[in-house]
Amino acid sequence: MKHLMNPLDFTVEELNQLFDLANDIEANMDKYAHVCAGKKLATCFYEPSTRTRLSFEAAMLNLGGSVLGFSEASSSSAAKGESVSDTIRVVSCFADICAMRHPKEGAPMVAASRSSIPVINAGDGGHQHPTQTLTDLLTIRSMKGRLDHFTIGLCGDLKFGRTVHSLINALVRYEGIQFIFISPRELMVPDYVTDMLKEKNIPYEEVIRLEDIMPKLDLLYMTRVQKERFFNEEDYVRLKDFYILDKLKMQLAKPDMLVLHPLPRVNEISVEVDEDPRAAYFKQVQYGVYVRMALILTLLNIHVN
């Protein structure tokens, strides 16, 4: 039985199969409308995350399956002191597959080790959020036709953002990737990331201002810069506009550059950018459903001809 804990749990070849399946689903939704009839997905969310939970639920419903679960810890048995191991053994009696979000790093891993059904890590603290990474990769592959030979800019909070670290780890497996990290000094990528890139001989650059490198980028991955991450108010006021993407900055970009964002956004992408054909962040949401559908089928070992 296979679980999904980390985006690297799948080899590049397995990912290709997953993405092929997701694209076939996109093109032929009707063919998949009943393939999970009688199957149940449990959404075990120990902390709220509406977007991720609804994406999983939409995915399962699109496959003809059904859904049960909880959306916050207070209404779960965890409040009575039950361990995650016990909860998953119980949930295994109720459902065929489980998507688990937990504030503690490693909790889904513990669950998977005791589970008799496939477990999907739907986010564990600041650690992993593999279905977001699969979503990002599928969006790029679907809209660009490939996952190699890109210059990708990652902008914003590169220190704490788990989606950024996950995406970097996933992309280094493809050829010809070049990274440009755009962030304030306080929020630069951690050393272990740049050390890994040096070791693998993968080119990267670190810059402070988004404008400076816009023309170079094939892909721009935006994230939110939270005020409270800065050392002082002064720095925040001085720097924050460097990390807000607006129409003016978009004029500097290539005509086919894609803008990605894991959402929710607050103000780091101006709404005026939404109608730009290069804005791909709402399409990401749609690809997130397709990739979760493909993932559920893959982990349940359901094959459709």
Site residues (CB under 8 A) for a copy of itself? Answer: 33, 38, 40, 42, 48-51, 54-55, 57-58, 61, 66-72, 74-77, 79-82, 85-87, 89-91, 93-95, 263-266, 271, 282, 285-286, 288-289
118 assigned ligand-binding residue:
no
Is the Cβ of residue 114 or residue 254 nearer to a copy of itself in the bound state? 114
DSSP 221-289: EE----GGGSS-HHHHHHHGGGG-B-HHHHTTS-TTPEEE--S--SSSB-GGGTTSTTB-HHHHHHHHH
Integer Cα distance of 91 and 32 in angstroms: 25
User: Minimum CB separation from a copy of itself for residue 74, in Å?
Assistant: 7
- Tell me which DSSP letter residue 48 carries: -
254 assigned ligand-binding residue:
no
Is the Cβ of residue 56 or residue 150 nearer to a copy of itself in the bound state? 56
Is the Cβ of residue 6 or residue 139 nearer to a copy of itself in the bound state? 139
267: left (phi over 0), alpha (psi -120 to 50) or beta: alpha
Is the Cβ of residue 90 or residue 208 nearer to a copy of itself in the bound state? 90
User: Minimum CB separation from a copy of itself for residue 96, in Å?
Assistant: 10
- Tell me which DSSP letter residue 4 carries: B
Integer Cα distance of 108 and 102 in angstroms: 7
Is the Cβ of residue 72 or residue 206 nearer to a copy of itself in the bound state? 72
Q: Which long-range contacts (CB under 8 A, 24 or more apart) does 231-236 make?
A: 231/186, 235/184, 235/186
User: Minimum CB separation from a copy of itself for residue 136, in Å?
Assistant: 15
- Token readout for 72 is 């916050």
Is the Cβ of residue 6 or residue 92 nearer to a copy of itself in the bound state? 92
Contact status, residue 47 vs residue 104, Cβ threshold 8 Å: no
245 assigned ligand-binding residue:
no
129 assigned ligand-binding residue:
yes
User: Minimum CB separation from a copy of itself for residue 196, in Å?
Assistant: 30
52 assigned ligand-binding residue:
yes
User: Minimum CB separation from a copy of itself for residue 107, in Å?
Assistant: 16
Integer Cα distance of 170 and 256 in angstroms: 22
Is the Cβ of residue 6 or residue 52 nearer to a copy of itself in the bound state? 52
User: Minimum CB separation from a copy of itself for residue 57, in Å?
Assistant: 4
80 assigned ligand-binding residue:
yes
- Token readout for 260 is 């990605």
303 assigned ligand-binding residue:
no
User: Minimum CB separation from a copy of itself for residue 70, in Å?
Assistant: 5
Integer Cα distance of 177 and 137 in angstroms: 13
215 assigned ligand-binding residue:
no
Contact status, residue 135 vs residue 18, Cβ threshold 8 Å: no
Instruction: Output the CA torsion 120→269→285→94 (10° steps).
Output: 40
Q: Which parts are annotated binding residues for carbamoyl phosphate?
A: 51-52, 101, 129, 132, 263-264
Q: Which parts are annotated binding residues?
A: 51-52, 80, 101, 129, 132, 162, 224, 263-264
Q: Which parts are annotated binding residues for L-aspartate?
A: 80, 162, 224
